[in-house]
Structure 1
Amino acid sequence: MPVMHFKVQWPDGTEANCYSPSTVIREFFVAGQYYALGDFVERAREALHFGSERVREKYGFACSAAMDQLAQIEEQARRFVTDPQAEVKIVELL
């Protein structure tokens, strides 16, 4: 499976490199685009679950790294949940 990485910029300006087990991430995010925090988390959740299922279809087991990445995204997002203006930028898709 072609692995992809995507770099995000959190509302406080910090950046994080994220992992996807599949190129499906391109169907959910556009480089340079800002997403409202809740929208970003929901898109990441859907994309990473979809990618994990692609791994399951091919290899017979889910991708634990995708679920670990989702947990990290959800944890980081909690820091900004009280800010209704919080946005996450997709810096790049690699």
Structure 2
Amino acid sequence: MNKIDALLDVLSKIYQLLVLVHHNSPHGSPLYDEDPPMSRQQVKDYLGISESTYKRKVREGVLRPRKLPGGDRFFKSQLLGEYRESRRRGRL
């Protein structure tokens, strides 16, 4: 990875952190209140999937977490298709 790619990666992570901090403030956006970030465990519980299934879906690109310090983060709005699939398969 060259220096520009590394710098862009760091800037992207800083931006994601700033967005999370802004939305966690008491005067965050109303949209955020309706779509809070979910941890890895919350996603597995929400979708009714195991750890191995979670890892496989991330590896295949079906689930695309935001990689942040402290763990992966998702938003429910990103998981709507997978939630429907879980219901169809009878996991929920």
Structure of larger gyration radius: 2
TM-score by length of 1: 0.29
TM-score by length of 2: 0.30
The structure, 1 or 2, with the larger RCO (C-alpha pairs under 8 Å, 6+ apart) is 1
Judging by fraction of residues, say which structure has more helix.
2
Judging by fraction of residues, say which structure has more strand.
1
